Structure 1
C-alpha cells in the first residue's frame, strides 16, 4: 500500500519546458508526494524521457522551476541529483559490460580494507541485493556483458535501491522482464512506497499502470494533457489521451497467400544454448517464438542470422535441397535474411550518424553513384521511411541518438524494409514503443506478410504474438516444446509450455543451471552494418 499524500509535496514542477532546435516540452506543472506512485505515459517523442532527465539532473530545463521539499531544486548533474536522493533507472542501460555484477552494483562505493577491495564483503552485499530482485542464481562475479538484457535491467534496478532513495524514476522498467521478474519489481515498489519513497513510473503497458500507480500524467506533443487520479481511467481512455485517437483493436491479416517454405531449420543448435531445433517459416506467414528470458529465443535467431556459430544442424532457404552456408551476418543478408535485433543501441544503430545513413546502411548500392554515396538518394530513402513508419524527427539529417527509443527502433525497421529481404527475423520489435506506434508496426508486419515475406518474431508480450501470428512456437530451456496454431492457443497454455522445460527432472537443458539469459553468448558481433 502507498502512503496517503501529504499536504506538502516532495517535488513540485512549474512551467517546465525544454527546447533543442525546436520545443520538445512546454508548460509542464506537476506535484509528487512522498510514498506516491505517478504513472507517466504518452507516445514516443511526447517528452517523457526529457522530463525525467530534467528531474534527475541529466538535462537542464529551458524554462520553469522545480522545488524539492519546498526549496529550489536545480541539479547540476545526475550525481548531484543522486546525492539528494533522486535516482533514475533509464530504459537504455548504463552498465559496464566488462565488470562483474557485484562491481557494477557497488561501483562508486566498493568496500575496502587497508586499501584493497574487500571481495568477501562485496560478494556478500551483492548477493543480498541481488536476492531482492530475484537474481539469486546468478554468480555475482559474472561479467555483466555475458548476461542478457532482462537480467541487466534487474541489475540496473537493484543498483538504484542502494542507499538513501527519496524519488525513483523507472523508465519502461518491465519492457524486457519475465512475469516473475515483473512481480518482484512490483513487490519492491510496494516496499519502497511504504517507506515513503516517491516513484515516477514510465510505461506504455497500460495494464500495469493501474496496478502500481495512484495518479496518471499523460504527455502529448510535449504538453501535459492529463494529471489526475488513475482510478477513473481505463486503457481506452488513456490511449485516446496519448494519441488523440483510439488505437485499432485488431490487425488486418487478410489478403495473404501462404506459400511454400522460405526458411527451414533442421536440427539447428548450439551446445549449452539451443538444443537441435526444427522449424519452418512459409512465404506470407508470421511465426512467433514465445518463452521466458533465458529460454534460448534470441540465441536461436542469432544462429539463423550467423551472429553465433551453430555446431549442429542446417538451414535451408526456399525449396533448395542443399543447406545454405550462413557463417556470418553478412552471409545471412546476402542470402536474403534480415534481423531486427532487440538491442537497438548496442547492435542495431550507428547512434552518431543520421537517420539517412542508418536507414540506407543495409543497401548502400542503392544510394551510391560510381562508388560515392549520394546524399540526395540517402535523403529520399530516409524521407520515405520517416513517412511510412511515422518517425518523429526534424528531418532525415537528424542524428539517431537524438531520437526517442521507439523512433530509433523504427529507423532499424526502416533499414531492413529498404533491404527487402525475403526472410525477416524480429527480436522484440516493439520493445519501448508506445501503444499507438505498436499498431503502426503491426500493420507494417501484416503488409510484409502480404508481400510474401516470411516473418519470425520473438516477443515477451504473449498478447502481441497472439494478435499478429499464424503460429506460435514456445521455447523452454533451450528447445521448442510445443507449437500452437492460431485459434488453438490461450495465454495460459502458452505460459504453461514456457515453464514446462524447467519443471521436468531434466529441465534446464540449455545450460548447467537452466537459467542462462537471452543474448548471453557472443555479445560481440554487432548487427548494425551486417
Structure 2
C-alpha cells in the first residue's frame, strides 16, 4: 500500500474576514496527492485568500487544515514550508540585483565546508532544475537582465526547488511563450507522477481543460463545486464562476451619450513588450472598455497612451493630428489623463487634505511666483466635491479619513480639474463597496454625456457591460475584437430581469475573452 496519503491537502470550514468583509465563508478545499487541481473563480472569489491561508500568510478565523495527513496548527510561512507547501506568487518576488541561482536558493543557500555561501553549487543545482524543465535560463545571470518569460520560469523553479509535496502555481503561464507552457505542463506531469499535488490557478480555461484533473470553483468567498475536469466544459465553468448573482450594478441605467468626433485614434501602436500592434478609436461622448485577463496588455496600452511608457511603433492621433507622447506631461498637454490602478501609491497622498490632492494636477496653473492661489484652489476643490458628490466633512480633511469610494472620487476629481478630453480609468472601482461602484459607473456615464472620451479598464466584466458603449477584447498584448455593447446581449435572456440579462452578457463576454486567449496563443506560436 502506498504511503502517500489520499489527500495532500484537506481544508475544512475555512473562514476569513478583513475589516468586516468576509473573504472566505466556511470553505472546504481538498486536493489529492498526485493530481493537478485547478482553483477557479472571478475577482474577489477568494482564491488568493485561501491559498495565502494554506501558505501561512493569513491566519484563518475558523476552520482546520491538514497537510499530508498531519494537522497544520501553526499559521506562518515557515510552518507551511516545513509541511511541504511551496507557492509561486502571481506578484513576482524576485530580487533584480541578485542572480537567478541566488534568487532560487535565497535563505536556503548552499554552503562551503567553512560555512561560506557557495554560489557555484547553487548555480549547478539551479541548472539541473532548468534542465528538468527543459528550458534555457542562465543561473549566473542577474534577474534584472531577464525577459518577462524567463523571470516567470525562475519563479517556478524557485518554488519547485523546495522539494515540495504541494506546489501552488498562481497564474504561472501569464508571461510564458506557448513552447514554455508546453514544457511546464510536461514537467508538472512528472511531478504528479511522483505524488506531488499541484494547485493550479489560471483564468485561461483552455489551459485548465488540458492540464487539470479536477477543479474547485469559488464565488463570493464560498465553495460552489468540486468536480472532475471532464464534467466541467468551458461554458459550464463560466456559468459556475459568474453564477446567479444579484449583481448590484443591474440597476444602473447606461443611457445614451451623443457620439461626436474622434478624440483618440491608435494606429498599430506597440510598446517595448506590450501592447502589440493595437488599433482603436475613441469618440467624444463614448466609453470604450478594455476587457482581458492579467497580462493581456490593457494597462500596458494605457501607459503608452498616457506617456508612462514609450511607444515602440505606430501612431497616436488626438483630434486627427499625430502626436508624440513621451511623458505624462506630454499627455496632459494634449488633453489625456490617466487615473491609475494603484490608488494609494499613485493616485493620492493619503495624509494630505482633499484640497491639496484635488489641485495636484493644476498646481502650476494656480500658482503665482511659487505661491498657490488659495482662493482658486478652494474653488476648484469645491467644484469637484459638488460635481462628484464626494462625502467629506471639509476640503481640509485628510484623504485617508475618507471611504475607499470617496478616495477614488478624489483621484478622478484631481484629473478632471485639468479638464482633459480623454480620460483613461484603470480599475476605477478596485477595492470599493458595491454602492460606491455604482456611483463611479454613473459618473463615468455622466462624463461621456459631457462630451469626454473615456477608456475604461476593469477586471469586473459586469462593470464594463454596464458602463461601456463598445468593448475591445485583448489577449497577449493584442486587440482581438472591438464589439458594440449590444453584441453581448443574449436574445434568449431579453425577457429576464436586468440582473439575469447582465449575468448572461457577462458569460458571453467571458467566452469571448477565452476565445481571444486561444487565438492569441496560436498567433504567438506562429511568431516563434
With normalisation by structure 2, the TM-score equals 0.62
Residue 378 to residue 193, structure 1, CA distance change in 2 (3 Å): farther
Equivalent residue, structure 1, for 2:7: 9
Work out the number of aligned pairs and report it. Answer: 464
1:58 CA drift (Å)? 1.0
1:114-133 alignment to 2 at 5 Å?
117-130=117-130
1:86 Cα offset (Å): 0.6
The separation in 2 between residues aligned to 1:341 and 1:148, in whole angstroms, is 24
Secondary structure at the residue paired with 1:10?
A: strand
Q: Is the 8 A contact 2:267 2:279 kept in 1?
A: yes
1:441-472 CA distances to partner (integer Å, 9 max, x unpaired)? 99999998787655779999xxxx9x997889
Query: Does the CA-based 8 Å contact 1:261-1:282 persist in structure 2?
Result: yes
Flag the 1:472–1:208 CA change in 2: closer, same or farther, 3 A: closer
Shift of 1:274: 10
1:165-204 matches, within 5 Å, as: 165-204=164-203
Give secondary structure in 2 for the equivalent of 1:160: helix
Aligned residue number for residue 241 of structure 2: 239
**Residue 305 (structure 1) aligned with residue 291 (structure 2):** no
- Pair 153,28 (structure 1): closer, same or farther in 2 beyond 3 Å: same
Going from structure 1 to structure 2, the CA distance change for 1:258 and 1:353 (only over 3 Å counts) comes to same
Give CA-to-partner distance per residue, 1:473-509, whole Å, 9 cap, x none: 9999xxx9x998879x996996599549956xxxxxx
Structure 1 match to 2:327: 328
Matched, 1:84 2:83: yes
Aligned counterparts, 1:255-294, within 5 A = 259-263=260-264, 283=284, 284=286
Shift of 1:425: 5.5
Contact 1:263 1:281 in 2 (8 A): yes
Q: Compared with structure 1, are the counterparts of its residues 105 and 257 closer, same or farther at alpha carbon in structure 2 (3 Å cutoff)?
A: farther
Structure 1 unaligned residues grouped into runs of 5+ = 386-394, 401-406, 433-439, 504-530
For each residue in 1:45-79, what CA deviation from the matched residue of structure 2 results, as whole angstroms up to 9, or x when unmatched?
A: 33322221121111122222222233221234212
Trace 1:65-464 onto structure 2 (pairs within 5 A).
65-113=64-112, 117-130=117-130, 136=136, 139-145=138-144, 147=146, 151-233=150-232, 234-241=236-243, 244=245, 259-263=260-264, 283=284, 284=286, 302-308=303-309, 316-319=317-320, 323=323, 326-339=325-338, 344=342, 348=346, 415=411, 419-420=415-416, 421-424=420-423
Q: Distance in 2 between matches of 1:37 and 1:200?
A: 6
In structure 2, relative to structure 1, the CA distance for the partners of 1:397 and 1:116 (3 Å cut) is same
Give yes or no for contact 1:338–1:416 (8 Å, CA) kept in 2: no
Equivalent pair of 2:215/2:228 in contact (CA under 8 Å): yes
Contact 2:219 2:241 in 1 (8 A): no
SS in 1 for 2:50: helix
Q: Secondary structure at the match of 2:160?
A: coil
8 A Cα contact 2:42 2:219, kept in partner? yes
Once structures 1 and 2 are overlaid, which stretch shifts more, 190-199 or 443-452? 443-452
Contact 2:359 2:414 in 1 (8 A): no
The alpha carbon displacement at 1:198 in A equals 1.2
1:127 CA displacement: 4.1
* Alignment partner, residue 57 of structure 1: 56
Q: 1:300 to 1:96 in 2, by over 3 A?
A: same
Q: Which runs of 5+ in 2 are unaligned?
A: 367-372, 392-398, 432-438, 485-511
Aligned 8 A contact 2:388 2:413 in 1: no
TM, length-normalised to structure 1: 0.62
The structure-2 alpha-carbon separation of the partners of 1:34 and 1:150, relative to structure 1 and needing over 3 Å to count, comes to same
In 2, Cα distance between equivalents of 1:33 and 1:358:
55
Name the structure, 1 or 2, with higher relative contact order (CA <8 Å, separation 6+).
1
Contact kept? 1:35, 1:195, Cα under 8 Å: yes
Q: Give the Cα–Cα distance (whole angstroms) in 2 for the partners of residues 191 and 228 of structure 1.
A: 23
Partner residue of 1:19? 17
SS of residue in 2 equivalent to 1:49: helix
Asked if the contact 2:5–2:68 (Cα under 8 Å) also holds between the matched residues in 1, the reply is no
